[in-house]
Chains A and B, each alone.
Chain A
């Protein structure tokens, strides 16, 4: 028997798998289904104050190696999210992470304040969607790369809630550790790394980008090396827990990610390759590997690759 239990800011997860934001989490019923399918924690689709319709299709492309998406942070607004969260809290024992985004530190603070009414266990600040644009969000990408702005946003968020704050960081920067340090200094309780990395696909036959928004975010197996590096760098620079996300498809991926320094692992694109059963499958594969290699608890894995 190996123990899969892990802990994020005092909240016990039955296993380290966390549904990553943007996947399936539109309503309480989907999130409850994912929790019942074995996820240790579930993250809601990111919401903002007023909601957004998102982009036209194609919004998602996928092949054997990666997924490319530009859904455009479609959501029904924070008031709707609060209602979904209230029901979800009653339905599931899994840890719930409420994900939010906005276009200024002040508005981030307001959306954090409001989503707290839905009582998620943790709140994740989506500072790093690589393809968000449109009216009001022209300067959003500054959040992904500016440590001063990240610090300010985390500080305002912390003032607006008692719920632990995770900062979700972008890999599209020279040194992600600088951003993690800025978030920790400002009082962040944890880091989620990484968000998708910017990318595009072009159809040679049609001579144009395929994604309607032209650019999107790449996820899946192709970005695992990038995610491992970023989590490794963050772990070396901060003390707060990290949800390591990016390309986790099987149990060994999850183990490598924890060895890089993750306390829990985000799983998203794996649900495309393996279905909703991905969470249970990953856990089982972790158990088998750990038993074979003499580990008793996933806690022994965290940061093990740092020697």
Chain B
């Protein structure tokens, strides 16, 4: 007799477990990195659900798995409450969830916008371990929002910065900088995480140059396990079919790069 009806199936549990914050590092004026005492076997691009009892529960990109680490910007009600946590505090963690960035080829380009660089750092760490050459673009609105320059250099990345206002590095968008780099050297694959508009135009560029492109497409998530439908991108659940998807999958989806959905499911323009 099988132990349970479901014992033959593969599914992620969704029960938060207490993890203890062991170290907090400040990345910039609003982004913090938490390290936990506990580890979580996971892959670059996957996410965890972080539960702050009485406040909310949100998906967060995994920064390091061993021990678990997350980096986040204090921008809303939840992330501000999380930002107020101290070393020794416990939060509820479940996961890891979603798809991961695989490694394709020997020379890859990472394009991160804003705090989208977080899962790309994890990917760079994997690339280094596997002898894959990594070039990384870190893009932001301005100098004070730039993130992870040092952390990516520590993983052996050739790091290029871009700011919309030119306050540091290349003046312009991360996609414009990617275009320049692509014309100078041959990349086997592009990996991106950041604002959807950025990934949308980057995908188009990659398609034109016939370079495989993988993006982390995130929508407002509720369940995190692919059942509630809140994070639909044209029928693809960004929590279970994604967040990492081959950009070719998204090309023909009319919402991609144009609309996302709010808490109640109403479409909102990006």
Residues of A within 8 A of B (CB): 22-27, 29-30, 32-33, 45, 51-54, 56-65, 67, 69, 71, 74-77, 80, 201, 203, 205-206, 208, 210, 212, 221, 249-250, 253, 268-269, 271-275
Contact = CB atoms under 8 A, between A and B. Distances in A.
Contacts of B16: 58, 203, 210
Contacts of A59: 222-223, 228
Given A54-B264, A56-B56, A23 B14 contact: no
B9 to A, nearest CB: 5
Interface of B: 4-7, 9, 11, 13-16, 18, 49, 51, 53-58, 90, 92, 222-230, 232, 234-235, 237, 253, 261-267
B224 A60 contact: yes
Contacts of A271: 226-227
Which applies to chain A's interface (DSSP): helix, strand, loop or mixed? loop
Contacts of B5: 221, 249-250, 253
A56 B222 CA distance: 8
18 contacts: A26-B261, A27-B234, A27-B265, A29-B234, A45-B265, A57-B57, A60-B14, A60-B228, A64-B4, A69-B228, A76-B267, A203-B92, A205-B90, A212-B57, A250-B5, A253-B5, A269-B227, A271-B226
A54 B54 contact: no
B104 to A, nearest CB: 25
Nearest to B264: A53
Contact of B237 (A24, A208, A273): A24
B264 A76 contact: yes
B229 A61 contact: no
B48 to A, nearest CB: 13
Contact of B6 (A45, A65, A275): A65
Which 8 pairs show the lowest CB-CB distances between chains A and B?
A: A29-B235, A57-B57, A60-B223, A26-B229, A24-B229, A33-B235, A76-B265, A62-B14
Given A23-B229, A54-B264, A75-B264, 16 more contacts: A23-B228, A24-B227, A25-B229, A60-B228, A63-B14, A64-B13, A76-B261, A76-B266, A77-B264, A80-B266, A205-B90, A208-B54, A212-B57, A253-B5, A274-B11, A275-B226
A74 B229 CA distance: 11
Contacts of A58: 16, 49, 51, 57
A59 B265 CA distance: 15
A145 to B, nearest CB: 26
Contacts of A210: 15-16, 51, 92
Contacts of B262: 53
A75 to B, nearest CB: 6
A71 B228 contact: yes
A69 B18 CA distance: 20
Given A32-B235, A57-B57, A273 B266 contact: no
A60 B92 CA distance: 14
A276 B5 CA distance: 17
A249 B11 CA distance: 13
A57 B226 contact: no
B53 A273 contact: no
Contacts of A249: 5-6
A177 B208 CA distance: 63
A231 to B, nearest CB: 18
A150 B30 CA distance: 53
Contacts of B14: 60-63, 67
Contacts of A67: 14, 227
Contacts of B261: 26, 76
A205 B261 CA distance: 34
Pick from A22, A26, A54 the residue with the most CB of B within 10 Å: A26
Given A51-B264, A75-B265, A57 B58 contact: yes
A74 B84 CA distance: 29
B6 A54 contact: no
Nearest to A56: B56
A30 B235 contact: yes
Contacts of A69: 223, 228
Given A57-B57, A273-B6, A52 B264 contact: yes
Contacts of A33: 235
B197 to A, nearest CB: 21
A206 B57 CA distance: 14
B224 A64 contact: no
A26 B266 contact: no
A23 B15 CA distance: 19
Contacts of A62: 11, 13-15, 225
Contacts of B7: 64
B185 to A, nearest CB: 38
Contacts of B57: 56-58, 212
Nearest to B266: A76
